[in-house]
Structure 1
């Protein structure tokens, strides 16, 4: 490894890695190397919000993973897009700023993770946030991450919110406020009409720091050990094998798929799985790759005649071209859309203590993650189960670090997830059929005529997939099955931590980007020995 040595090596330039690169290098003394397998984020497909439609369906700034066949989905393979670019999935996502429910974090703490209750994590959310609409005590001002209202003023998204009210749900102006439940417009990580990814928020302001080096197109292949201590990272770049040594710690922030894969490639994980691929065992840690969770999601679709909606047909294309001028002048309008402009957090039954369903109302027809195009104007609505009981896993396909891992989210493996989603299907359809949306409805697509419970179940098994929130595969805990302890140190090893969505003990009730940034904010405190926010 020669003299290529720094204090901290961070693997993964996504939502967590960008935070860590910024915070760990802030003193101007500690040297930090950030390794990102993807490339630069300075393309219009990343910066202009509507450009995400080009990255979602294919391997463009996107790992484009597939799951193994899912028995709960009739043997189908699911699709798992994840960001492969600076900013990670925050550079290709729908920009929704949602923290989950406070009880999610208190549940983490009660399960053996002291320091991770709501009172502990809220200061980290506040520190990260620069909210353009709301302030104290539940929102931050002046943090790196700009959080704002959308600039589209789309009347169809507003009609969805009114439809929710017509169904008896309260309008909620702030899903991260005192109460999560209700229907409303999402706040987004957007600055002046452009995407505010983790790279834009945390990396751009500090790229000139002499003690921070950012290496793109660097595919980490293994963590290097001396005995039980992590001392560096090996990676491939431009066809060459390189390495960097860490004087203080190696931090894995490669996400719910990348971090457990890299641990196993490095000889850390279930002994039998590692031996199966001829990898030398460093540490038998059975929990690596276990406990994988994701929100199972179903999408409704309707055609429409409204040019307020986005679609690949002549009127929609003409409207989009006209919107370019408005975007250049005002940084507003259709090109600033995150597509999922409105939504809801609802209960599948009145007996639920907190919302167990989330809806995303989309101002376009979405089929198979935009991989199947409908040449019509229209709208869609996602509904997902927020705290599924199903637990999946991630395993190695081979000992080759360039091979995709075997991803098994075990969708609908637990019968409760399916029945909860059946109830969610009915709750969502009622909103979509409410009078406020009548001027925009034309034809219901794949769910038309599906009413009986058994037919709903069959439709769900035929169409459910991810809503892009995988977590939990390097679970945090105080028990022997945990991968990292509450300080995010890999159990049984030294000089190695995992800091990303993979450490979540279980899913939060909402989108996972803001919680991942919070985890990294707290993780930076732990690495630097700070106990308070």
Structure 2
């Protein structure tokens, strides 16, 4: 599927690193081929030594698994990779990181422009929600990454920090000011290596996380910003920073792309420390359940290389498997609603009714489509411009996130309208009122849970998206976009029930499931402010499932923050 002949130098270099790790090429071949790409000799030599050291170290670690580690981290996504890295910085701590998926240095992951081909592919868990009348009896696809890096290996590479009000709300729910915007902003500044308009009050430089505005965007992206300005939506040099403290705005997208290749979270956090003897990273390791003595988590049971293994943790187990897998593992281990666990004969260790509840996601509507006079060049992540705005003026936080996409971005229903040379404007709802839930289907750890997304089930969400579709039309048909428009295909002049049906037919997930093991102090809370699971010892959760409410925008960056907070708590 992926022709790497025209891939960027950055992608080709990363593929060589992956081949060196896998033992498919030797040191001399790596050096020679990397030099042919035009990289400086010193950089090539340093990379060769680093990745040879990683390969040798991890081979030894895997061949000599310990019976016990100080910390076990389950899941290598946006939070888990961060936790493992920070814990491993203490060379006296033995850290085991378990990832069910495979390696990440693959063409489908590294090539940025075709990231959406991974959805439903080999790097995806291929989850699907139950059919729901609120989306015209469709099953909404719920993509989740199954590779080193988790969702950060298959997502759109967007770095969206979240709004100031998101974190202040989290702090109130947790009863802990360490989660408020002021403290979170300090973490962002500390971890970022920002390559955009200088903003030392809000953006950091020299950190682990390289971020930049989409480089060399196509001419249609700045036209989209001019279209936004014509509607009274202000434009900014940075989609984060001050823009996420006010009522909205439009900007070129912040992306995790460098030299034309995806930067997933392991690229920044894991690979720098994978040559250390105190960090063991197992891919293809499927965790079946947590192991307990009474109400104390003592380790994990997992499948790896065809065998079921049990390894103990002398300190904490950190569950970072994501908002679908994390509650499933909790329930399989006896942590959840007693009535639900009784259905499967699972003994209740901690009765927590909130496990699997409070499911939130960002619906995005594949229903804004324009035909261009000629081909549209796809660059970066194909979504180089975006805006935040409010569906109602009285809201204190933007609830609409509207994307310009340099390709047809449509559901399996609205996809029938696609023709050659088309582009999309897709409104998403980033502060949904609808809530879903998860339930076990069986005690088989390989069985996906039953996902009730309940997308658009709250009428307030449909009303907000009607406004979003109207804004999308105004943008697409604006004077600024005329050079790129041959005709409007969708939504056209639809109104009333016809427009509602288009929204329901076009509704898709932005693949941001969150909230299913939320942080807080009420009866549905699963973890406290220190991310410790109520009712058991030595178990923490660090992933999007702990969000009391979903953040305003893509969830990759806030999940990195959750990982950093978890590490701060554990190493304090």
Please give the TM-score of this superposition, normalised by the length of structure 1: 0.91
1:39-54 matches, cutoff 5 A: 39-54=102-117
For residue 409 of structure 1, the aligned residue among 427, 446, 453 is 453
Structure 1 stretch 100-109 or stretch 349-358: which is displaced more? 349-358
Distance 1:521 1:469, change over 3 A: same
Shift of 1:162: 1.3
Secondary structure of 1:292's counterpart equals coil
Secondary structure of 2:315's counterpart equals strand
Shift of 1:509: 1.0
Please give the TM-score of this superposition, normalised by the length of structure 2: 0.85
1:210-237 Cα shifts (integer Å, max 9, x gaps): 1000000111110000110101011112
Shift of 1:29: 1.1
Distance 1:375 1:66, change over 3 A: same
Distance 1:287 1:207, change over 3 A: same
Shift of 1:307: 2.6
1:179-328 matches, cutoff 5 A: 179-180=243-244, 181-299=248-366, 300-310=368-378
For residue 447 of structure 1, the aligned residue among 483, 488, 491 is 491
CA contact (8 A) 2:167 2:181 kept: yes
Matches of 2:283 and 2:65, distance apart in 1 = 20
Secondary structure of 1:69's counterpart equals coil
Matches of 1:431 and 1:375, distance apart in 2 = 20
CA contact (8 A) 1:220 1:234 kept: yes
Distance 1:449 1:469, change over 3 A: same
Shift of 1:446: 4.3
CA contact (8 A) 1:422 1:453 kept: no
For residue 55 of structure 1, the aligned residue among 118, 136, 153 is 118
Matches of 1:382 and 1:50, distance apart in 2 = 18
Distance 1:445 1:471, change over 3 A: same
CA RMSD of aligned residues (A): 1.8
> Residue 149 of structure 1 aligns with which residue?
213
Is 1:504 matched up with 2:557?
Answer: no
User: Structure 2: where are the runs of 5+ without partners?
Assistant: 1-63
CA contact (8 A) 2:199 2:241 kept: no
CA contact (8 A) 2:437 2:451 kept: yes
Matches of 1:309 and 1:448, distance apart in 2 = 24
> Residue 181 of structure 2 aligns with which residue?
118
1:448-463 matches, cutoff 5 A: 448-450=492-494, 452-463=495-506
Runs of 4+ displaced beyond 4 Å: 369-375
> Residue 54 of structure 2 aligns with which residue?
none
For residue 30 of structure 1, the aligned residue among 93, 106, 110 is 93
Shift of 1:278: 2.4
Shift of 1:442: 2.4
User: Structure 1: where are the runs of 5+ without partners?
Assistant: 311-333
Matches of 1:191 and 1:491, distance apart in 2 = 41
Secondary structure of 2:270's counterpart equals helix
Distance 1:412 1:370, change over 3 A: closer
For residue 529 of structure 2, the aligned residue among 478, 483, 486 is 486
> Residue 82 of structure 1 aligns with which residue?
144
Ranked by relative contact order (alpha carbons within 8 Å, sequence separation 6 or more), the top structure is: 1
Shift of 1:239: 2.8
Distance 1:213 1:178, change over 3 A: same
Shift of 1:305: 3.0
Greater helix proportion: 2
Matches of 2:387 and 2:130, distance apart in 1 = 31
Shift of 1:526: 0.6
The number of residue pairs the alignment matches comes to 502
Structure 1 stretch 40-49 or stretch 271-280: which is displaced more? 271-280
> Residue 525 of structure 1 aligns with which residue?
568
